[in-house]
Amino acid sequence: MKNAIEIRNLNKTYKASKRSAAKVALNDVSLDIPKGSIFALLGPNGAGKSTIINIMAGLVKKSSGSVIINGFDIDVNERNAKSSIGVVPQELNYDPYFTPLESLELQAGLYGVPKSERRSKEILEMVGLGDKTHAYVRSLSGGMKRRLLMAKAMVHNPQILVLDEPTAGVDIELRRQLWDNVKMLNSRGVTIVLTTHYLEEAEELCDRIAIINNGEIVACDDKDVLIGSIDSKEIIFRLDRDIEAVPATMSQFNCEVKSARDLSVRYSTSEQQVGAIIEAVQNAGYGIVDITTEQGDLEDVFLQITA
Ligand code: ADP
Ligand code: MG
């Protein structure tokens, strides 16, 4: 078995309530998440990311379709499916009156991990909380609390760790720390699934990415392939003198004056040739001192796909 998770034709409609109309949150979602990967579910708020995660975690009931976790169908073999996966939910909740060690022991108890097999201290070390074993949870910083939740999700030694928006509202430094933790766990063989609405996070961390929009998977591929598929490129000309406005003769190109002497041109690699663009700059009466180009990034992929 090479997939940690296989999702087929998954649908979810949240029923109407007094406050809201019925809502189709997932529309025929199918996904394979390879074993050993760091996989991102990337999409804007409301796209359906948490719904997928919560169905996998057994917190939300699907309307139809199938979910196989580590070879176990959640409808047929819920127990084994659940023991294969650790989930850090988007909504964070803490036990303020327990120390990190007590929190982990409690969680291990809930999962029925026998005392002899518990590794609470080792897990705390692993997420960098080794010196906080006996601290009050309420005295921990935001980043430490996040890592404690990761630790809690690991008590039953799951092969798959799922993180729902792990770095939403977390500052850059903490984000780096969490990323390091994720990479370290992955290097120990844990399959990582995370949701994010930060393109940068998916780009930095993941080897495979699915983009979800309005409850539908609109792209799913290796990160490099996704980024490579982007057709738009930016070329920046450093000119020999100041430029005030885009020359009228270049109006057919997507130009922008970036700074006093820098003119940027966005173009489609399949439709336009660099030679023609260079010629247009020279014909407008400018000398070219230097040229730099920028490849498209995930943001371009995202805009192209969801446009
Ligand atoms: P994401 O995690 O990508 O931001 P969600 O899966 O939380 O998206 O939500 C997908 C859609 O389903 C949204 O339109 C959201 O408002 C709706 N939704 C989520 N949870 C519920 C719920 N419990 N009841 C009704 N609608 C919900
Ligand atoms: Mg969410």
pLDDT digits (tens, 9 = 90+) for 181-230: 899 999 999 999 999 888 788 888 999 999 999 999 999 999 888 877 76
Ligand nearest to the CA of 55: 1
Task: Answer with the residue of higher pLDDT: 258 or 177.
Answer: 258
pLDDT number for residue 304: 72
Report the separation in Å between the CA atom of 63 and the middle of ligand 2, taken as the mean of its atom positions.
Answer: 18
> What letter would DSSP give residue 15?
P
- Other beta carbons within 10 angstroms of residue 5's beta carbon come to 24
Closest ligand 1 atom to residue 44 Cα is 3
Contact 19, 82 (CB under 8 A): no
Q: How would you classify residue 112: left for phi > 0, otherwise alpha for psi between -120 and 50, otherwise beta?
A: left
Contact 149, 170 (CB under 8 A): no
Using CA atoms, how far apart are residues 107 and 58, in angstroms rounded to an integer? 17
Ligand nearest to the CA of 42: 1
Is residue 5's pLDDT more than 80? yes
Using CA atoms, how far apart are residues 144 and 147, in angstroms rounded to an integer? 5
Task: Answer with the residue of higher pLDDT: 142 or 214.
Answer: 214
Looking at the domain 233-296, which fold is it? Alpha-Beta Plaits (3.30.70)
Chain-centroid distance of CA 9 in Å reads: 21
Is residue 50's pLDDT more than 70? yes
Closest ligand 1 atom to residue 12 Cα is 12
| Sign of the dihedral through C-alpha 127, 128, 129, 130 | positive
Name the least confident of 14-18, 31-35, 130-134, 290-294.
290-294
> What letter would DSSP give residue 133?
T
Mean pLDDT of 129-152: 88
What is the overall mean pLDDT for the chain? 90
Ligand 1 neighbours by CB, cut-off 6 Å: 14, 20, 23, 25, 43, 45-51
pLDDT number for residue 296: 63
Task: Answer with the residue of higher pLDDT: 139 or 94.
Answer: 139
- Other beta carbons within 10 angstroms of residue 219's beta carbon come to 18
Residue type, 237: F
Task: Answer with the residue of higher pLDDT: 108 or 168.
Answer: 108
| Superfamily in which the 1-84+158-174+181-228 domain is placed by CATH | P-loop containing nucleotide triphosphate hydrolases (3.40.50.300)
Identify which of 18, 50, 212 to mutate to test ligand 1's pocket (most ligand atoms within 8 A of the CB).
50
Mean pLDDT of 53-70: 96
Residue type, 239: L
Report the separation in Å between the CA atom of 259 and the middle of ligand 2, taken as the mean of its atom positions.
Answer: 39
- Other beta carbons within 10 angstroms of residue 253's beta carbon come to 19
pLDDT number for residue 71: 96
Ligand nearest to the CA of 164: 2
Cβ-proximal residues to 19 (8 Å cutoff; 6+ apart), any chain: none
pLDDT number for residue 243: 93
Mean pLDDT of 83-100: 86
pLDDT number for residue 297: 67
Report the separation in Å between the CA atom of 17 and the middle of ligand 1, taken as the mean of its atom positions.
Answer: 13
pLDDT number for residue 267: 86
pLDDT number for residue 210: 95
Is residue 102's pLDDT more than 90? yes
Please list the residue range(s) of the chain that carry CATH number 3.30.70.1560: 233-296
Tokens of 100: 């990190």
- Other beta carbons within 10 angstroms of residue 99's beta carbon come to 19
Which residue has the CA at smallest separation from atom 6 of ligand 1?
A: 48
Which residue has the CA at smallest separation from atom 10 of ligand 1?
A: 48
Mean pLDDT of 228-245: 86
Task: Answer with the residue of higher pLDDT: 133 or 273.
Answer: 133
Q: Please, which residues bridge with residue 263 across strands? A: 237, 257
Cβ-proximal residues to 12 (8 Å cutoff; 6+ apart), any chain: 24, 25, 26, 48, 51, 55, 60, 62, 63, 215
Contact 128, 139 (CB under 8 A): no
Please list the residue range(s) of the chain that carry CATH number 3.40.50.300: 1-84+158-174+181-228
Report the separation in Å between the CA atom of 21 and the middle of ligand 1, taken as the mean of its atom positions.
Answer: 12
The percentage of residues in the chain with a pLDDT greater than 90, rounded to a whole number, is 64
Tokens of 70: 């580590």
Is residue 22's pLDDT more than 70? yes
pLDDT number for residue 230: 67
Largest CA distance in the chain: 79
pLDDT number for residue 307: 67
Task: Answer with the residue of higher pLDDT: 142 or 13.
Answer: 13
